[in-house]
C-alpha cells in the first residue's frame, strides 16, 4: 500500500505512482478530454461534463491506487479489469442520469405574436435557421429525450427563448440583434448543425443575404450602426 505521508522522495514517489497506475490515470485523462470536447460540441456545460467523468472514474481509481506494486501478468490482468470497470461504470452512470427530471419538460407555449415579416421567404428562412430555439414551435428531436443530450437541448431552448422569442415578439423591450447575429454567422450556432444535424438551418450565402434584407425591412429589427 502506498504511504502518502512519506515525503523523503516526493518526486520519486510521484513517478512510481504514475508508472504503477498509468492505465488508470491515462484512461481517466482520456475520458476527461473526450468529455470536454464532446461537451463543447453539443454545448453542454463544462462543470456537468467534469461531474459525469468523475462519477465514472471515482469507483475505478480508489482500489488500484490503494493496491501494492504489481508486475508482469498480474499487472496486465489488473489493467484489463480496470478498463472493464470503467466501461461498466460508464454504463451505470448513463442509466442513472436518465432518472434526472431536468430535460424532460418539452413544451411549446401558444404563439401570441410574431413579427410582421416583410416577405414569406423571410419567415421561412427564420423558421429554418432560428425557430429551433427562438420560438414556441420547437420540434423536439428524439435525442432530446436522452440525457445528457436532453440537458443541452433544454438549456439551448430556454436560453434561446430568453434572448429572443419570435413567437412572443411583443415582449421584446429593446432593439433586437438578429441581423448582427446572422451577419456574424453565430446564428444558428455551430452545435445546432454539427454532425449533419438540422441541415435545413445551413443557409447558403444567397439565403443569408435574402434573410438579412428581409429582416431589415421587418418592423422591430434594428441594425446596430457600430
Confidence check: pLDDT of 66 > 80 = no
- Give a yes or no: residue 5 inside a domain: no
Give the pLDDT confidence of 109-140 residue by residue, as tens digits. Answer: 999 999 999 999 999 999 999 999 999 999 99
Q: What's the burial of 129, exposed, middle or buried (CB within 10 Å: 0-12/13-18/19+)?
A: buried
> What backbone phi and psi angles, to 5 degrees, belong to 168?
-135, 55
CA 95 to chain centre: 18
Instruction: Name residue 204's beta-bridge partners.
Output: none
Structural domain boundaries, residue 83? 10-97
131 plus 163 within the same structural domain: yes
Domain assignment of residue 107, yes or no: no
Residue 67 inside a domain? The answer is yes
List pLDDT tens digits, range 43-64: 777 788 888 888 887 777 665 5
Name the domain count of the chain. 2
Instruction: Answer whether residue 221 is part of any domain.
Output: no
**One domain for residues 133 and 57:** no
What is the phi/psi pair of residue 211, to 5°? -65, -45
Cβ neighbours of 161 (radius 10 Å): 18
pLDDT at 77 over 70: no
Residues 6+ apart with CB under 8 A from 172: 164, 220
Where residue 72 falls among pLDDT bands split at 50, 70, 90?
very low
pLDDT, position 16: 53
**124 with 212, same domain?**
yes
**Pick from 65, 97, 129: which residue ends a domain?**
97
Whether residue 214 is predicted with pLDDT greater than 90 in this model: the reply is yes
Torsion angle (degrees, nearest 10) of CA 22, 88, 39, 141 = 160
Report yes or no on 104 lying in a domain.
no
pLDDT tens per residue, range 80-97 = 677 777 788 888 888 998
pLDDT of 34 reads: 77
Amino acid at each position: 500500500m502506498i504511504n502518502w505521508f512519506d515525503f523523503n522522495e516526493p518526486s520519486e514517489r510521484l513517478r512510481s505512482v504514475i508508472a504503477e497506475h498509468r492505465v488508470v490515470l491515462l484512461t481517466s485523462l482520456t475520458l476527461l478530454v473526450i468529455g470536454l470536447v464532446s461537451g463543447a460540441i453539443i454545448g453542454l456545460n463544462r462543470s456537468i461534463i467534469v461531474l459525469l467523468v468523475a462519477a465514472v472514474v471515482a469507483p475505478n481509481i480508489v482500489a488500484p491506487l490503494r493496491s501494492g506494486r504489481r508486475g508482469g501478468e498480474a499487472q496486465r490482468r489488473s489493467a484489463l479489469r480496470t478498463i472493464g470497470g470503467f466501461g461498466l461504470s460508464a454504463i451505470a452512470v448513463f442509466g442513472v442520469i436518465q432518472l434526472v427530471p431536468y430535460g424532460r419538460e418539452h413544451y411549446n407555449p401558444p404563439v401570441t405574436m410574431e413579427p410582421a415579416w416583410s416577405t414569406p421567404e423571410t419567415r421561412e428562412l427564420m423558421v429554418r435557421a432560428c425557430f429551433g430555439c427562438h420560438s414556441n414551435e420547437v420540434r423536439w428531436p428524439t435525442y432530446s429525450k436522452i440525457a445528457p443530450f436532453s440537458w443541452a437541448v433544454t438549456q439551448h431552448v430556454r436560453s434561446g427563448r430568453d434572448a429572443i422569442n419570435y413567437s412572443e415578439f411583443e415582449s421584446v423591450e429593446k432593439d433586437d440583434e438578429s441581423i448582427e447575429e446572422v451577419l456574424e454567422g453565430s446564428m444558428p450556432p455551430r452545435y445546432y448543425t454539427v454532425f449533419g444535424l438540422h441541415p435545413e438551418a445551413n443557409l447558403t450565402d444567397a439565403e443569408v443575404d435574402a434573410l438579412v434584407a428581409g429582416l431589415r425591412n421587418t418592423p422591430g429589427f434594428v441594425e446596430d450602426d457600430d
